[in-house]
Amino acid sequence: MKKQSYLKTMVCSFLLLFCSYSIYGKDVNKELIRIETNNTTLLYIVENGNVNNYYFGAKLKNPEDYLNYTGDPQGALFPAFAGKSAIEAPVSVIHSNGVLSTEFIYVGHSSKAIDSNVSITTIVLKDKVFDFYATLFFKAFKNEDIIETWVDYKNDESGLVTLKNFASAYIPVKSDKYFLTKFHGSWFGEMKMEEEQLTHGISTIQSIQGVRTSHNFNPSFIVSLNQPASEDCGEVIGGSLAWSGSWKMTFENDIESRLNIVAGINNYASEWPLKNGEEFQGCHFIFTYSNAGTGQMTRNFHSWVRKYAIQDGNELRPVVLNSWEGNFFDFDESKIIKMIKDGAKMGIEMFVLDDGWFGGNKYQRDNDGMALGDWDVNKKRFPNGLGKVIEEAKKNKIKFGIWVEPEMVNRQSEVYEAHPDWVLKEPGREQYTERNNYVLDLTNPEVVNFVFESVSKVIRQNPYISYIKMDCNSPIYNPYAPYLDKNSQQQLWYLYTKNLYSVLDSLVKTFPDITFQVCSSGGGRVDYGSLPYFHEFWASDNTDALQRVFIQNGTSYFYPSIAMGAHVAKVPNGITQRITPLKYRFDVAMSGRFGIELLPADLTPDELTFAKAAVQTYKDIRPIVQLGNLYRLLSPYQGCLASLMYVNDAKSKAVAFVYQTQRMFGDFYPNIKPKGLDPLKKYKVTEINVLPEQAKKFTTEESVFGGDFLMKNGLPCVYWGKQGPLSINLMGEFASAVFLIEEMP
């Protein structure tokens, strides 16, 4: 906001304050600020020069009643650190004269509709004494019941202000009890769910890894009010940060038993100096409220992501064959050509050549210790360049994609040898690496340009490329940017992420026809900050189908299936050594953005026949899986089965998946009860993706049920003895089933 408009708003608001008067301490000039979606209300009241939060929850019919309400607010709009602070505030600064406290007062607010679905409310706060401003933005998405919020800080003081803490969101909640669900994990074990009751004090989840957002914790949470979160009932608030750098969220159950949720960029080693006239924009925070449990919360997030926070969210994704797990670094031109040919026979639509295809003149990418950063073709593996493999893809009408990791280089690379000052490196210290990677100094504009040019060059040299897998295999272990002066090092974290976003933005704008996948040692950068620049993410390097059931379940709470790369890999799994049946692996991968990550040549003829049919089956159900609404039926954490389903908007087609997660004789298998159908419609239920030897079921007239019956009674599972005609076959270890539910005319 320009200084002039700040002044205008201030003058108006002070006039307003002057005109208001108090009767027995009651402010008669209270003003409501309503932020509303179809089913929720977030309510603030301007009173006595302050803005307070009175309500966030199911839509209020008469918010005006709050004007007569004499109870306490839930909290302030945005508390700052002050001498009388009782909670850890979202913002704390050192003012230009050294004063540590900030007292915000109301300056003004405005609301405007962006279109028929989206509106934005802006509330300006100013310190009572100092010319320091915080402008809060609330973007409400009506149909999706989503609110996106962020804060701009502005220094109009005469000297330097130091931002010590600069969060983006503060949500106070009042309830009897609070339960926090966290999504923790690491490489090979992302998105594990854990729920705890929040007793008094502060719980924190965070990342301090700089470039990797979601190994440790995903920047997302669920707070359930009064009772533990459940899928279909109860009040929950879900939130997620749109930031791909270090972040922090705190949940403080305070002395008045109110929960104070604070979310934003991590201030860890990250003080930010704000000179006179400068602004600082925090990251965006996305949140929703549901009084119908976590299922509705998820559907709110998914429809918002598909419409507003991902590339081409309504376009179906191709079936991918990725070269990594089938070959690792052991491949050459002829092996890749064979893979493409074999993949084509299975029906794949996109071949992705993963790590190992590049190198310069001096180093070739034979292993992960060399050539990263030298983005020319590896002449040892591809003496003819990529021409021949691309020709093969074209011949087979398959699209072609390629792997890059442009933010990092190896020590053994021509680019590092030419520019040793381009990497993050602490003077005087040993250089710590993960996977032999040096992270580039993205505070340096020359390096930012190099990152953009690296990817552009690969695409320009091979115009047939239509998919880029963009990896990032190391956290920031050496936090010192040679480009910045020694007093500015704390700015590294913020600048890195901002400059990364500017590269990503240029890439998607320059190459609008390319499909981009975000990857970071698997699911290390799965967040709402990176997603807008990508079409999808690689959910995990863990392709063990059993563990994937858990990883994909956790991921599903915030991220839709259209974006979740899920591939069938070989067995025994490289790390877990587990052997799961091919059908189980297909059934698990088919509930996401499906792909294959093994050598088709390793399959037996029978397996190949099954795989080919399964790929076709996926193509048939793809619109339901990728664009449908998700209903989780059974959690893998709660028994020996996991189940989920997708239903199209018209409730005319659905597909359900059931996975056995453990097999113990005597374990109880509940009926699988579909959700989200129309109770008044008749549906035909057909088991699909069946093995040839499986008995055929659900194909007779008896397989027609009313939606009401299906949802209330469900379908029985059989895991031993004789299988009935209407049951779901879950016999044997790692049994699984997929069934299609179609409306009968």
Residues in contact with ligand GLA by the rule CB under 6 A: 324, 354-355, 368, 403, 471, 473, 519, 521-522, 538, 541
The residue of the chain with the least Cβ separation from ligand GLA equals 355
Work out how close the CB of 325 gets to ligand GLA at its nearest, in angstroms, rounded to a whole number.
8
Work out how close the CB of 353 gets to ligand GLA at its nearest, in angstroms, rounded to a whole number.
10
Q: Which residue, 144 or 541, is less far from ligand GLA as judged by CB?
A: 541
Query: Could you please report the per-residue DSSP string of 510-534?
Result: H-TT-EEEE-BTTBTT-STTTGGG-
DSSP state of 490: G
Q: 396 in helix, strand or coil?
A: coil
Work out how close the CB of 541 gets to ligand GLA at its nearest, in angstroms, rounded to a whole number.
5
Work out how close the CB of 398 gets to ligand GLA at its nearest, in angstroms, rounded to a whole number.
19
Q: Which residue, 205 or 519, is less far from ligand GLA as judged by CB?
A: 519
Tell me how far apart the alpha carbons of residues 369 and 403 are, in angstroms, rounded to a whole number: 16
Tokens 């679905």 found at: 117
Report the first-to-last Cα separation within the chain, whole angstroms: 57
Query: ∠451-456-459 over CA atoms, to 5°?
Result: 135
Q: Which residue, 519 or 611, is less far from ligand GLA as judged by CB?
A: 519
Nearest Cα neighbor of 592 from 481, 738, 458 is 738
Q: Which residue, 221 or 351, is less far from ligand GLA as judged by CB?
A: 351
Work out how close the CB of 402 gets to ligand GLA at its nearest, in angstroms, rounded to a whole number.
11
CB 429 within 8 A of CB 478: yes
CB 337 within 8 A of CB 388: yes
Q: Count CB-CB contacts under 10 A for residue 168.
A: 26
Tell me how far apart the alpha carbons of residues 571 and 590 are, in angstroms, rounded to a whole number: 17
User: Residue 12: how many CA atoms within 13 Å on its side-chain side?
Assistant: 11
Q: Which residue, 235 or 354, is less far from ligand GLA as judged by CB?
A: 354
- Catalogue the active-site residues: 471, 541
Tell me how far apart the alpha carbons of residues 190 and 542 are, in angstroms, rounded to a whole number: 9
Work out how close the CB of 469 gets to ligand GLA at its nearest, in angstroms, rounded to a whole number.
6
C-alpha pair distances (Å), 117 with each of 138, 146, 240, 648: 14, 11, 21, 21
Tell me how far apart the alpha carbons of residues 482 and 493 are, in angstroms, rounded to a whole number: 13
Helices (H), 242-332: 293-308, 324-327
Q: Which residue, 96 or 466, is less far from ligand GLA as judged by CB?
A: 466
Q: Which residue, 342 or 355, is less far from ligand GLA as judged by CB?
A: 355
Work out how close the CB of 416 gets to ligand GLA at its nearest, in angstroms, rounded to a whole number.
18
